Amino acid sequence: MLFIKSAWQGEERLWKVFWLYGLPVVFIGFFGSLCVEIGAAMGVGVVGRPSESTWCFWYDIWEIVSLCYWVWLCTSLWRCAFNVEKRFLGYGARALAVFVVILVCNNYFYANSFSLFHGHG
């Protein structure tokens, strides 16, 4: 877990933050999120399956963990941006971090997907 702290403090190489801690986790997270959302959708009224409240609980947990990850990743990208030989890559990393923050904020706060704020119906 030392890499979490070193990336957060801006001590990690940019390529590690992007290629090892960023991109693969985003793909794994996408499929994990997809499974949780499908489970939440199918959990309503299906015999032998977890109830809707169970799936919604896991959906809320997933959303919180996901939000923490995105905060960590964007902060790490920003702080480690200039730990590269070519300075333009640092500017690109910072632009990417800002873009991701905008997308995450849009997803959580404007697209009604953050279930802790909007309830489950």
Could you report the per-residue pLDDT of 67-81, keeping only the tens digit for each?
899 899 999 999 999
How far CA 89 is from CA of 20, 76, 80, 92, 116, in Å, comes to 16, 14, 11, 5, 37
Angle subtended at Cα 75 by Cα 73 and Cα 76, rounded to the nearest 5 degrees: 65
pLDDT at 116: 46
What does the pLDDT read at residue 15?
94
- Domain count for the chain, please give it: 1
Intervals of the chain under pLDDT 50 = 45-48, 113-121
Residue 34 counted as domain residue: yes
Give the angle subtended at the CA of 56 by the CAs of 40 and 66, to the nearest 5°: 95
Residue 106 neighbours by CB distance under 10 Å: 11
Structural domain harbouring 55? 15-118
pLDDT at 115: 47
User: Is residue 44 included in any domain, yes or no?
Assistant: yes
pLDDT at residue 5 in the model:
93
* Torsion sign, CA atoms 97, 102, 105, 107: negative
What pLDDT score was predicted for residue 87? 94
Q: Residue 27 has what pLDDT?
A: 83
Strand (E) positions, 1-121? none
pLDDT of residue 118: 45
Q: What is the pLDDT of residue 50?
A: 54
Residue 1 lies in a domain: no
Q: Does the residue 23 lie in any domain?
A: yes
Q: At a CB cut-off of 8 Å and minimum separation 6, what does 79 contact?
A: 7, 8, 9, 10
The answer to whether position 10 is within a domain reads: no
Distances (CA, A) of 32 to 26, 81, 120: 10, 28, 20
Q: Is residue 82 part of a domain?
A: yes
pLDDT value for 57: 75
